[in-house]
Each structure stands twice: as structure tokens, then as C-alpha cells.
A and B are shown apart, each in its own frame.
Chain A
Amino acid sequence: MSQDKPDIKEILVTVKQLLESIANKSKGGERYDALCGAFLLGVVDRELECGERQDENQNRELQVLLGKEGTLSDLYELFCQQVRCGELDEQWPTAFDFALRQVIDKVSVTNPDYLATMHRADTECENQQSPVK
């Protein structure tokens, strides 16, 4: 770690607590903005925690599914194009499963409480108590 304390998580906690305290004292638009800011810092925290691993796993899965290598963004584009033009219809369950897992990954970062119980155990962010909650 090349940076001095506080580390990035501590900074997130501090700013999130500030926004929550502003939200508690505010009304209307200001309260809503503060809550949104706190929510987005929670997203940042979870993405820092598990985003990289999710990307690596998805990249590996897509390489197998599509038979191609590339950046995750390139592979998303290719996957979407192939799904759209029906090239993956023959592998529909596999394509559907990948899309659902990718979405579960995203929700586990955005708002893990939104996932059905059956998917909470699947997420990489599980058991990693976010300090920004």
C-alpha cells in the first residue's frame, strides 16, 4: 500500500456517514440527493471489493462460450450481437445462464439486498461485510 492512512475504505465510510447525517437532517431534494450519494458510495465500495474478480470470471466464461479472446467489453459486444441475431439460439440455456450470472454480479455490486435468497449465496460479495452499509 503506497498511500497513507486513512485507506480507501475508511475514506468511503467517513464520506458516506457524512451524507447519511446530512440526509437525516434534510428534507425533499437535498435529502434525496444525500441518500443517492450515500448509495453510490456503497456501490463504489462493493465494486472495489469484487469488481475485478467478477470481470475475470466473466471474461473466462465468455471466451469458452464464444470461442474468442478479447477484453470484457469486446466480448460483451460480441455476445450481444450473437444473441441478437440468433447465433446462440442453439445454446440458449448456456447463453441465458451467462446473462443471468452477469446480471447477478452487477446487482451484487449495485444493491445485493435486491437479489432473491437463492442468488445471495452465489455472489462473490457475500460474506464480505461492507463497511459502507
Chain B
Amino acid sequence: MMTEVSEQQTEIDDIVAKLGLALKRRYGEGIRVDNVSIATLGASNRTVLFDAVETAGRRRLVLRQETVKSEVSPFISPHDQFEILKVVYRHGVLVPEPIFELEPEDDLDVGYVMACVEGETLPKVLLNAPEYVVARKRFATQTGEIFAKLHAISTSEVPFLEKVADSIDPLAAQISRYDAYCEYHPGLDVGIRWLENNCPKEKPRVFVHGDYRNGNVILSRNGIEAVLDWECAHIGSAMEDFGWVCLRAWRFGNIDQPVGGFGPRDEFYRAYTSNGGQTIDEEEIRWWEIFGSLRWAVLNMMQADGHIRGVRRSLPFACCGRNTSMIEYEMLMTINGQFS
């Protein structure tokens, strides 16, 4: 255990030293790194918070580095994520300001640095703590407004997303990832067949976030401050983002509040359409919620696979493998109309 801890500290020290040099290369010798902390390790990224300190003052920043490189990774590259941040920031979508992208000379692998936005992301805290009562009330409406702004951005500004598997055929992309694990889940295959037999009609293709949910949004007491985690962005139906944020898993027990456990659908849909969004198709949103269960189940299989193969040994990732059954349950209960 001690060896593990000291190895981790050595790794952190190495990152901090290289980060200091990366800052000096860009901003001169008068800048240094201070007050470093490692945020929770994400599914595909490492997140390091630090202060960039100059004589004039200090600014809290965030380093995002890619940690998982898998052939079946569903995530877009850090380079493309950084490009997206620049586009959406320019359009006034609430995101952390993009600062700079890592380069080979930085010797920090691939990733980027962005501004740190203060606030809370932990879903259960956001859903229960008294200080977030105003933010909770505003979440559905604010999300509708954010989606309207995001979906209005021309796909020509993010042309590199056209090549993403989820842009080409989202269902085929999930099936391909599921098949890569060589596991047989009767529930998932029944769900896949239902999705194939009930495919929605083609809709206008827009720029979608792909992973907008409770947990990937920073909230202050006043409401949403920033949208994070753009690694699943792609081109698709606007209704896909609606289905994902309403997925039962993201309600964290508040099942009667479909929009991330925070609020009702009608406020959400109204805010979206009144801000120039696409036409709402509730039947299609239901299809995307069932699709979302397939996708979430496959992501859990990915986490468990990382644990089983020893790439990222972790008890939470081991739990993910068994959690798949609960997601399959939600999927089938939604198909048969018991869950909504």
C-alpha cells in the first residue's frame, strides 16, 4: 500500500513539474504552479486542479489529460474536445474558458488546460442539500435554454465530429462496442432488437453534447455555471440529448423528476422551444431513453472490463459490471411501459 501511495505521489510530482514548465513556455519565467489537487479519476480523463501564480495574482485552472486509450473507446480525442470548447465558448454556451492545449514539447501526453469554475457536481448533494434549492428549481429551464443554444450551432463549425461513429450510426456504434466485450446479455439484445424495430424517422442533424446529465454540470446556488465533459459530442438528433438527460439512472432516485432528478419535462421542453429549439418529439425522446440504457450498460461493461483486464483495477469499476443488470431492468421496464 505504501509503495502504491508513493508511486502515485511520484506521478503527481512529475505532472506538476512538467505543468510548471508548460506554463513557463507559454507565459514566461514569472509564472509558477501552486495549490495542486487531483480530482476524482474519470472514465477517460485525469483532472488536475492548480493555481497559475504570477506577480499580478493567481488563477485557478484545470488540466485534463487522457488516461484511457482503448481501441473501442467511445470518447473523442482531447484535441477535438478542446476545439469544441473553443467553439461553444465563442457561442456563449456556459463552459469553462479554454486556456491552452498540451503540445508534444510539454511531455504531458495529450490534453488541455481550461479555467476552473467554482461550484458543485456531486448529484446527490445537488439533489438534496438545502443551499441548492434555487438551482434545483432552475435546472430544467436552464437546460432547455442551453440545449437550444447548443443545437443552433452550425455543424460546419465542428466538421471533425462527422467522422465519429456515433454521428454515423449511433445504434450501430453501441452494438459494435457491446460485441467487442464478447458477453451475452439477453436483456440488452432484446432491447437492441426493439430499438431496431422502432427506429425514429430521420430528423435534422445537429451538434449534440452526448453526455449532458446530472453529474456533468457545475451548479452554484444560483443555477448552472458550466457544462463539462464534451468527450461524447457528436452530430445527431437533438432528441438524443433530451433522452440522455432524462435517463432514469441520472435521476439518482428522484424518479418523479425526469430532468436529471431536478424537474419536470414540460418546463424543460417549453424553455427549449421558446428559445428557438427544434420541434419536440416525445415518442422519439422515449426511444433515445431506451437507447440511453443500452449505451449506459455498455459503458458500465467498459469500466468492468478495465478492472477485469487489470488496466484499471478498482472496486467501483468492479461494481459497474454488476450494475449493468439494473440498467437492463430499467431498459426493459421502459420498453414495456412500466417506467417513464
Residues of A in contact with B (beta carbons under 8 Å apart): 29, 32-33, 36-37, 39-40, 43, 73, 76-77, 79-80, 83-84, 86, 89, 95-96, 98-100, 102-104, 106-107, 109-111, 114-116, 118
Contacts and interface: CB of A to CB of B under 8 A. Distances in A.
B230 to A, nearest CB: 25
Interface stretch (B72-80, B210-218, B259-267, B311-319): B311-319
A76 B322 contact: no
B318 A40 contact: yes
B332 A115 contact: no
A89 B328 CA distance: 19
Contacts of A80: 184-186, 188-189
A40 B318 CA distance: 8
A13 B311 CA distance: 30
B183 to A, nearest CB: 9
Contacts of B319: 36, 39-40
B190 interface: yes
A12 to B, nearest CB: 16
B186 A107 contact: no
B193 interface: yes
Contact of A36 (B186, B188, B318, B328): B318
Measured as residues with beta carbon below 8 angstroms from the partner, the interface class of chain B is: 20 to 34
B73 to A, nearest CB: 24
Contacts of A83: 186, 189-190, 192-193
Interface in B324-338: 325-326, 328-329, 332-333, 335-336, 338
B325 to A, nearest CB: 4
A99 B318 contact: no
Contacts of B323: 110
A99 B184 contact: no
Contacts of A43: 322
B326 A107 contact: yes
Interface in B293-327: 314-316, 318-319, 322-323, 325-326
Nearest to A36: B315
Contact of B322 (A40, A95, A103): A40
A40 B205 CA distance: 42
B187 interface: yes
B326 A76 contact: no
A104 B332 CA distance: 10
Contacts of A98: 186
Given A89-B197, A95-B190, 14 more contacts: A33-B315, A40-B322, A76-B185, A77-B184, A80-B184, A99-B189, A99-B332, A100-B187, A102-B187, A103-B186, A103-B187, A103-B329, A106-B328, A109-B325
B138 to A, nearest CB: 29
Among A39, A86, A109, A118, the one with the most B-chain Cβ atoms within 10 Å of its Cβ is A39
Contacts of A102: 186-187
